[in-house]
Amino acid sequence: MPATEPLPAPQPELDARYSDPKASPADWSEALAQLRGAEVFWLTTVRPEGRPHVTPLIAVWHDGALHFCTGAEERKAKNLRHNREVVLTTGRPSLSEGVDVVVEGEAVRVTDEPSLRALAGRYVEKYGPDWTFEVGDGVFVGDGVEAVVFRVAPRTAFGFAKGDPYGQTRWRFDH
C-alpha cells in the first residue's frame, strides 16, 4: 500500500546563520525520503516533572505523519499522558555526509481499526515479518503484548545537511 502525502509540501527556509554560503535550502522531498527510509529514530518526550526523556525506536511514515508504538506502561507512554509534545530525530552518524532530520509535533493516539490495520501493514513492509502486529481494541498486539500507537504530524521540521555544503533548512507546516 503506497503512503500518501495529503498536504502540500512546505516551503523550505535556509538558515544562513548555520549554513555554508554556497548552500541552498533542501527540498522537503529529501527530508521525506529520509523519514520514509530511516530504520531508527530517537523520540524525545517530557517527563511529568519537566526533565527530557530520549529513547530509540522504530517508526513508519504514513499519510503525512510519522507513527510509532509503545507499551502503555513504558516511560514514553507515561510521559505522553502529561505532555504530548515530542521530537523525533533520525540521520546518519557522520559529520561529512547525509542529512539529519528533526520533526517536532504532537503525539496523538491512533485507535481506529482501519488506520491501525494500515499502519500494521506499513510496519511489515518496512521492517519485515518480525514486526507483524494484530489489531484489537484500539491497540497493536504482538507476541501477546499490547502497544499503543501514536501519530506525529510535523508542525516544524529541520534538515541538517552535512558535508560540502553544510546547511540548515526549516520547514513549517500548516495544520
Which pTM value belongs to this model? Answer: 0.92
33 within a domain of the structure (yes/no): yes
Is 121 a domain residue?
yes
**Integer Cα distance of 76 and 83 in angstroms:** 10
Say what the pLDDT of residue 1 is. Answer: 37
Asked, for residue 37, whether it belongs to a domain, the answer is yes
- Residue 3 within a domain: no
**In CATH, what number is assigned to the domain containing residue 83?**
2.30.110.10
Whether residue 110 contacts residue 67, with contact meaning beta carbons closer than 8 Å, is answered with yes
Q: How many domains does the chain have?
A: 1
Backbone dihedral region for residue 37 (phi beyond 0: left; psi -120 to 50: alpha; all else: beta): alpha
105-154 per-position pLDDT tens digit: 999 999 999 999 999 999 999 999 999 999 999 999 998 899 999 999 99
Q: What is the pLDDT of residue 59?
A: 98
Residue 174 confidence (pLDDT)? 82
- Taking the C-alpha atoms of 104, 107, 40 and 148 in order, what is their torsion angle to the nearest 10 degrees? 180
The mean per-residue pLDDT over the stretch 12-26 comes to: 93
In sequence order, what are the residues at sequence separation of 6 or more whose Cβ sits closer than 8 angstroms to the Cβ of residue 3? 36, 61, 62, 63, 122
- The answer as to whether 5 is a domain residue is no
- Can you give the pLDDT at residue 40? 98
Structural domain contains residue 2: no
Is residue 6, in this structure, part of any structural domain at all?
no
Tens of pLDDT, residues 20-70 = 999 999 999 999 999 999 999 999 999 999 999 999 999 999 999 999 999
9 falls in which pLDDT band (50, 70, 90)? confident
Flag whether pLDDT at 3 surpasses 90: no
List, for residues 94-107, the tens digit of each pLDDT value: 899 889 999 999 99
List, in sequence order, every residue forming a beta bridge with 53; answer none if it has no partner.
45
Q: Quick check: is 25 in a domain? A: yes
Query: What are the tens digits of pLDDT across the range 157-168?
Result: 999 999 999 999
> Looking at residues 78-98, what average pLDDT do you find?
95
Q: Which residues constitute the domain of residue 29?
A: 12-172
